[in-house]
Amino acid sequence: MRFTLDDKPVTAPVGVTLAAALLAHSGDWTRQTAQGTSRTAFCMMGVCFDCLVEVDGTPNTQACMTPLREGMIVRRQVGLPALKGGQNG
């Protein structure tokens, strides 16, 4: 399957989560906290929120709970993107 990560093409096997694809690709960080600390998938079951990324323009998406789809546009998340309703999280 093909998707993009920060405007670069990436391939991954069919049937994996986005977090698994990102870890297999580079093992690099998926988000940075407001303080600039790098984080990546940790629990792989939706509990820790360290794998948050932007998917197809939607921030705060848990990569470990998102099945990989052909053509996804993924961006590493930096800081505290606005949540729906105008609050920051």
Give phi and psi for 24, each to the nearest 5.
Answer: -65, -35
Give the pLDDT of the chain (89 residues) as one tens digit per residue.
Answer: 999 999 999 999 999 999 999 999 999 999 999 999 999 999 999 999 999 999 999 999 999 999 999 999 999 999 888 765 544 44
Tell me, yes or no, if the pTM score tops 0.85: yes
| Non-local CB neighbours of 38 within 8 Å, separated by 6+ positions | 29, 31, 32
Helix, strand, or coil here: 74?
strand
